[in-house]
Structure 1
């Protein structure tokens, strides 16, 4: 069998190995060579969960460390991969800290060697190469899985505890090059984060009564195996940590067999270890050591920067233990977390504006906690962590920045308020840690939350949006202005708000100086807009890959369809079971052939106004003419085997709606799939795209407005809400002259030609700011929303 168990008590390792095998150091292994008569000895530094390759082959990865003191190689670690049945057996047996002897290894180039700091090659261990794996077991600690036959590894390995007594070294006595055991109090730490390689990293600085300190750099392929440190003041016990020198200071790194226990450092808290190990040693002496360290930490103020919301001061960085009430994605580089800890912030706080449907959480609870929650905006690398947080969970957010924002305009609501930011990166321990519900701090927090009287924090101003709407409607019905005032208002503003009429109007100069994301109401003139050629404002947008492209104009479509018309219809693809074909020859264009395939419903042809046809060889003029007679048209061309669709042209034409598909995201299927829709009542564009494997493109208006309110200029996009703004469907405007004239008329009213700016009408608009990166420097952009052109302009 390729996996063998060796026992230390059975004699020296060399005596238990086949006599023909010779030991090889890392520097002796040759690239591209299978070393059948040599073996490599290494300690298991890391193991990774078993996985399967695309072909179903089992794969098990470890990182081996060369323990030899005589090796001349500066790099001591190498990625090692086991394949097939060998991977399955090794995955059951091998654990971190084991000593392995591997023969029959094959050395290949490592694609990650330059990034992870390991050997530039990687070991591949395959049974077909004659590989054998020997697992060395120390005396007295043989598990049930490895007991019995030395040539069988069928049962899964169980955990065992070492029998020796551990000696712990004070930090001031640590020496370079020695593997030690130690206790320490956490003075600083960074929650696990992904390093530049494939591993996770955690940085921990510990101290003890000797006032010496030790910085530890801990790495693991699985973040769950790193020490579970939640706050400054926690107590750690490290076994087998290697001491080395870096920049003239000693430093700890995890070596073979490294293990860690973490304890709450609070005096009186239960002494319960946090660890990923299933079996570990812990005795009364260890308990006494922890109690002594707790007392010493309490007398030396190791509470860290963790505070309550009620104690927060501006321009401070702090840690917050809290419960997550709601969350929402704001943009690609920022994420909103709504949290509370049972206390109320003394200063007014920033409320981040997000779309209602983007907010995740219990709306009723968030409304009840409106005056007790704070909004924290997290950025960059913390966004991925925030996305996977569960609403209702208990978390510690490390190194939050409390920033005082003072508005430049005295009329702005909340002129001064606190903003909370978790900036990107890991400096100063920035990060987010999820706490288990049995954690001591969580239980204390739960007691605090349960004791809060929510009614005490409710006020008259806290009415629901429904109550607010009803109140506004009542006010408007009681205080309607005279018709003269209404007429004057209409003359002054050529747009109206679809919602948010209660918002205060904010000057553009204030908006430009404010952080994103936020929402505003503005009153300004439209100084200019782009593009000036309005037909260029209609774009095709793919919601999947987010691409934008121009709509093909008549000249483009003529070229595309004329190119297809040069191909003669294939007679073998006519008159099938699900469509009936008709072919005729034109008399005025080189005897060109046109084929029309009438798709049947329930094996019967329908009236033209209900029929879907596929056309081969038709020009743009002919397709437009047919679109006035038939319900739906699909332009196709025939090849040797089937009818095909060209996505450079519309894949479906329904009157004035020309439907296009994304060439990048679509996975075109055989047009025979249309037969599956023969039982449907009507031809639905979405269903047609789905069965044909087409990712449909959406027609949108995309324009840039330049606003001027006499305080500042501001550029804002009109995009997602453009059809609401114009009350015009973007999908129909390309082939509808009346809609085109209507759009030109609206823009002439909003931004009248041949007039001075002070003669332009005023626009009431809602705009929102957001952060944009698009691969370059971050910038703040603006977009119109919930704004409609006044009815007088639409007539």
Structure 2
């Protein structure tokens, strides 16, 4: 039996073999001789048991060096372990998370997820009869008994919290962090961004913390569920994180979550109750934790690192100001897919005129009646882009904190038309806007019941009368105060029609007739758009190789930042004869010189030709620095050192920046050879010449969407790929860099598939389809593609 439970070092019939020698996780490599070695660690993550067939199982877990939170010198102290067959099944039944295990009889393989999970680059694999795993369980001593613990601690702990049973958590000062270690930390939040959706499946939180050592450390947290992210409501809150890994990013220390990660936050104001905020059902919390929070509160209160208070009431708002608003949500209504309107109040009256807006009464969600006094004090907040989705899930009556809201006096800049005329000399009306993105901490959070701000606001709003209005009074009032804008003046009237651009003389068929036909045919159809994928339209932008026909996702900035950071860490001297160091200016920044790891290299031949600074080779830079340089120089090529010379970064990153355009290369088809691009005999270099000189096969941008069509006879799924550019009248290259191009695509699909409308309201589309054969799972499938079709705005 491969799994044994060992009690206090001795078991009933099983004991860890004395001839085995322990090897630290950090010293494991793909060439390690494992025959007489064992690994000891704590189970910090236990995955589910997956059945592959009859008695065939697999299970993935993560173990961590027991003492890794006390030592900051070791790198890669956590490692993935994959168990197969009976070992997986017995592990699932016998081992719990937080158990200490001894692993022997394993083999070592490369970890395919190392770049994503930031763990050891190798896996431990256990299968067959030679694999052994010992679970170390220690009997509780008298001093560790539940009765003794109760006697020692007379102060109550919060509901859901539990005291540490055996081992004591150790917390590392932020000034003692060393790259690669997994640690537990406390800190005061000095900056934070609300969680935002990445291009993958996760949400990402970004924050910066400090402690009594006065060291500031950035933190990046990825979790699939919003509720697993830190519950931070204002700068100065206290945060406690367990099992975060130390990385170096852009020359600075950064903490990232790893397996077993947990987080608890506290209000940072001195004197208040120490109430943990967490989504975990159980967590460790005792008197020492309470003292740690109080100590950080007192210390932070005497510091001057926290910014001036940006939280102000509506009665103190000034035009054009950015501020944080604590308020109660009265009503909400969707404007379109990118904007949601919130009607909020905070018990005070805004002294400035407010913009009137109009919405469809049927779209308003809120209570059936409210006092006229409350509605007169309420204001409109337009919530855009990534925040609109969050706003749609809010419930009327909720108490909110809206961060970095803008008291806008120029509604046309947000495509918000005023619906009431303004007399000469009258002040511009205000409309409150939460812009898209996460800059400056923008976002919306629901305040918890124990929040002092929420309790204070609740006392204020409950002091107002609760009298109701008649239905007719409510309708009149709603038409008056919900006077609202769409995002563009004609958003509700804008219509698109589709037409076929081919010269085929074909009879129009129903979708049912099309599905009864074979492959390699062309059809004319008339159908409606029931749905489309992806719903997040930025995901429709792809990279494809015209040579090998491969298609890949466009990397997001979080991934690219990691590629640039890794290249900076391995940067060495460069002595390529056709390159020389130089100095360039970043737009809006001080001149950059070859300081720290950043080296600017210019092609000497081009300098001699009078084309100085047309090409900049950039070494040791961050992604942001490369983007800034691309604003001022025609071509920016990020490189790294390679045996004294230069080489391109991994082709997962752009090999060339040209203005806002990022140009990628195909890993499969490229054969990189670094040499100076030949500028002889040409008036101006272009990206094609640079790619050829470097042996790179450039990837092309493309738009890929799947439309679900229906016409009453059948439903059919069709790809829009080859002719997507002519369909939207937008090139994929423009869609990658231009907001205007992106807006056109969104307006088109919103018009062709209006959300919430019935079948009768959906426009009919005249389309040309082609059918083709695809082999999948050993079977042939007929698929369809939209071709020779164009969507244009209807003429009124």
Q: 1:348 to 1:410 in 2, by over 3 A?
A: closer
Residues 406 and 416 in structure 1, CA contact (< 8 A), matched pair in contact too:
no
- 1:265 corresponds to 2:268: yes
How far, CA to CA, are the matches of 1:664 and 1:468 in structure 2?
34
How far, CA to CA, are the matches of 2:334 and 2:129 in structure 1?
51
The two structures, once aligned, show a CA RMSD in angstroms of 6.4
Q: 1:71 to 1:374 in 2, by over 3 A?
A: closer
How far, CA to CA, are the matches of 1:784 and 1:355 in structure 2?
23
The residue that corresponds to 2:667 in the other structure is none
How far, CA to CA, are the matches of 1:387 and 1:269 in structure 2?
33
Deviations 1:246-290 (A, max 9, x none): 66666656688776543223344322223436242422x654564
**Map 1:30-49 → 2, pairs under 5 A:** 30=30, 39-44=38-43, 46=45
How far, CA to CA, are the matches of 1:429 and 1:445 in structure 2?
22
The residue that corresponds to 1:453 in the other structure is 465
The residue that corresponds to 1:516 in the other structure is 487
Q: 1:661 to 1:218 in 2, by over 3 A?
A: closer
How far, CA to CA, are the matches of 2:94 and 2:356 in structure 1?
53
How far, CA to CA, are the matches of 2:317 and 2:792 in structure 1?
32
Q: 1:313 to 1:175 in 2, by over 3 A?
A: same
- 1:16 corresponds to 2:16: yes
Residues 46 and 221 in structure 1, CA contact (< 8 A), matched pair in contact too:
no
Residues 319 and 398 in structure 1, CA contact (< 8 A), matched pair in contact too:
yes
Q: 1:320 to 1:733 in 2, by over 3 A?
A: closer
Deviations 1:299-358 (A, max 9, x none): 668684323233322333322333334444444444444433333333234566555555
Q: 1:43 to 1:440 in 2, by over 3 A?
A: same
Q: 1:130 to 1:326 in 2, by over 3 A?
A: farther
Q: Secondary structure at the match of 1:428?
A: helix
Larger Rg: 1
**Map 1:633-712 → 2, pairs under 5 A:** none
How far, CA to CA, are the matches of 1:385 and 1:420 in structure 2?
17
The residue that corresponds to 2:282 in the other structure is 278
Q: 1:662 to 1:314 in 2, by over 3 A?
A: closer
Cα shift at 1:135: 3.8
Unaligned runs of 5+ in 1: 145-157, 470-499, 504-513, 523-528, 531-536, 540-548, 562-631, 652-657, 666-687, 705-714, 735-780, 790-795
Cα shift at 1:184: 4.2
**Among residues 224, 235, 238, which one is paired with 2:238 in the alignment?**
235
Q: 1:71 to 1:169 in 2, by over 3 A?
A: closer
Cα shift at 1:730: 8.0
Residues 306 and 318 in structure 1, CA contact (< 8 A), matched pair in contact too:
yes
How far, CA to CA, are the matches of 1:164 and 1:660 in structure 2?
63
**Among residues 411, 426, 430, which one is paired with 1:418 in the alignment?**
430
**Among residues 397, 402, 409, which one is paired with 1:397 in the alignment?**
402
**Map 1:756-767 → 2, pairs under 5 A:** none
Cα shift at 1:216: 4.5
Q: Secondary structure at the match of 2:457?
A: helix
Residues 411 and 418 in structure 2, CA contact (< 8 A), matched pair in contact too:
no
Q: 1:59 to 1:339 in 2, by over 3 A?
A: farther
How far, CA to CA, are the matches of 1:432 and 1:370 in structure 2?
21
**Map 1:117-516 → 2, pairs under 5 A:** 117-119=118-120, 122=123, 131-137=131-137, 140=140, 161-162=164-165, 174=176, 176=178, 184-193=187-196, 201-207=204-210, 210=212, 212-217=214-219, 219=221, 221=223, 224-237=227-240, 260-275=263-278, 276=280, 278-283=282-287, 287=290, 290-291=293-294, 293-294=296-297, 297=300, 304-350=309-355, 354-362=359-367, 364=369, 369-405=374-410, 413=421, 416-453=428-465, 464=475, 516=487
Deviations 1:368-399 (A, max 9, x none): 85434433334444444444444443333333
How far, CA to CA, are the matches of 2:341 and 2:53 in structure 1?
41
How far, CA to CA, are the matches of 1:61 and 1:184 in structure 2?
32
Q: 1:550 to 1:520 in 2, by over 3 A?
A: closer
Residues 357 and 418 in structure 2, CA contact (< 8 A), matched pair in contact too:
no
My pick for the range that moved more, 65-74 or 161-170, is 65-74
Deviations 1:477-503 (A, max 9, x none): xxxxxxxxxxxxxxxxxxxxxxx9x99
Deviations 1:29-71 (A, max 9, x none): 549x9978765445555556x4868989987554445679999
How far, CA to CA, are the matches of 1:93 and 1:87 in structure 2?
10
Q: 1:784 to 1:304 in 2, by over 3 A?
A: farther
Deviations 1:453-473 (A, max 9, x none): 3679x99x986259979xxxx
Q: Secondary structure at the match of 2:459?
A: helix
Residues 179 and 242 in structure 1, CA contact (< 8 A), matched pair in contact too:
yes
TM-score normalized by the length of structure 1: 0.50
User: How many aligned residue pairs are there?
Assistant: 536
